[in-house]
Amino acid sequence: MSPLSATECLLQMCDERHELEDYQSGVPRWCTGCGDNAILAAVQRLCRDEGLRPEKTVFVSGIGCSSRLPHYMKTYGFHGIHGRALPIAEGVKMARPDLTVFVNTGDGDCCSIGAAHWIHAIRYNMNLTVFLHDNQIYGLTKKQASPTSPIGTRTNTTPRGSYLEALNPLTVTLGVANVSFVAQAVDWVPEALFDIVTAAYHHKGLSFVRIIQRCPEWMPKTLEPWLHDPNRVQLLHHANGLPLRAGLARVYKNQVEHDPSDINRAREIASSHDIIPVGILYRNPDVPCYEDLLRPDQLRTIDMKRAALDAELDKHTVWPREANLLV
């Protein structure tokens, strides 16, 4: 077989099509009925439909049930330490802006120990797609209250019920400077989940998607009122947001036309208590990305990186006395 020319190789790469199996790695070890399974399915479908090359795609996570997702993706992955998924992902994107970078984090991982990184990641607005898996509990460590646990939740750390109102990840994110994309999905409406995941991927900037998910092991009844009453799920649609799928519209009749460019209205919708809004709350494509502000249209070569490291290290070098005399 004769070797392929450079042009033929490029054409082959452009025509390459991947199937779902090309992104699947191992058998997920989440509990039966865990919302993480639905999120994984949506993400793998996104990769297939968008034709993402596995060798150019990275999933970064912290610690928790949600953070096992990179293990089940046949792409590059980085399973970080608790609360540090975002700075790791920012480092990857800064060094390799040509890569597609996703972040999977949980309500404890992101909103507790990782809260400072979460706030500043929104402010930096790097081109990352962030999925917050919010099951309102620490699941991996066997049922401790998380920042998003509803008030009164009985757990191993709050046996008499949690005393504090739950933190709202949507209102917090919408209150940070340079926020550019905020959406919410639920794991039991897979069509809307996929549409939101896709819109987040196509946004240039940091896309923050809160995904409310079920935890059948430790919080089996928490979301039942919303599961059994479709009117408590509110579909957001708009010409500049998401279209309203006909099938969903027949089941979920609580529908609101919401312009995602209206941040004040987005904050009002995010503050809902009895209704779960599903869709894009806010989108502003004009917010600049941090990596573009630093190095627009420039990839650092290996020689450039080596020269920069040498220059920094030389600042702290203790030179021999003879070298100083020569100077």
| pLDDT one-digit tens code per residue, 11-61 | 455 567 899 899 999 899 999 999 999 999 999 999 999 999 999 999 999
CB 41 within 8 A of CB 69: no
Kindly state the percentage of the chain with pLDDT values over 70: 92
320 lies in some domain: no
The dihedrals phi and psi of 73, each to the nearest 5 degrees, come to -110, 130
The dihedrals phi and psi of 107, each to the nearest 5 degrees, come to -65, -30
Question: What is the pLDDT confidence band of residue 325, given thresholds at 50, 70 and 90?
Answer: low
Report the C-alpha gap between 178 and 173 in whole angstroms: 10
The dihedrals phi and psi of 211, each to the nearest 5 degrees, come to -115, 110
149 lies in some domain: yes
Look at residue 226 and tell me whether its pLDDT is greater than 70.
yes
Look at residue 9 and tell me whether its pLDDT is greater than 60.
no
- Mean pLDDT, rounded, of the chain: 92
Report the C-alpha gap between 106 and 133 in whole angstroms: 5
Look at residue 303 and tell me whether its pLDDT is greater than 90.
no
Predicted pLDDT of residue 171: 98
| pLDDT one-digit tens code per residue, 170-215 | 999 999 999 999 999 999 999 999 999 999 999 999 999 999 999 9
Residue type, 20: L
What is the arithmetic mean of pLDDT over 101-118?
97
316 lies in some domain: no
Look at residue 7 and tell me whether its pLDDT is greater than 80.
no
296 lies in some domain: no
What is the arithmetic mean of pLDDT over 79-84?
94
Instruction: Write out the residue range of the structural domain in which residue 83 sits.
Output: 19-289
Q: What is the DSSP letter of 26?
A: S
CB 86 within 8 A of CB 173: no
CB 31 within 8 A of CB 218: no
Predicted pLDDT of residue 6: 63
What pTM value is reported for the model? 0.87
Look at residue 3 and tell me whether its pLDDT is greater than 90.
no
2 lies in some domain: no
Looking at per-residue pLDDT, the higher value among 217 and 5 belongs to 217
Predicted pLDDT of residue 17: 84
Look at residue 1 and tell me whether its pLDDT is greater than 70.
no
Q: Whose structure tokens read 């995602």?
A: 260
Kindly state the percentage of the chain with pLDDT values over 90: 82
CATH for 149? 3.40.50.970
Number of domains the chain contains: 1
Q: Whose structure tokens read 């092991």?
A: 217
Looking at per-residue pLDDT, the higher value among 235 and 327 belongs to 235
98 lies in some domain: yes
Distances (CA, A) of 44 to 24, 193, 218: 7, 12, 26
4 lies in some domain: no
Q: Whose structure tokens read 């529908």?
A: 255
Predicted pLDDT of residue 300: 67
| pLDDT one-digit tens code per residue, 289-302 | 999 888 655 666 77
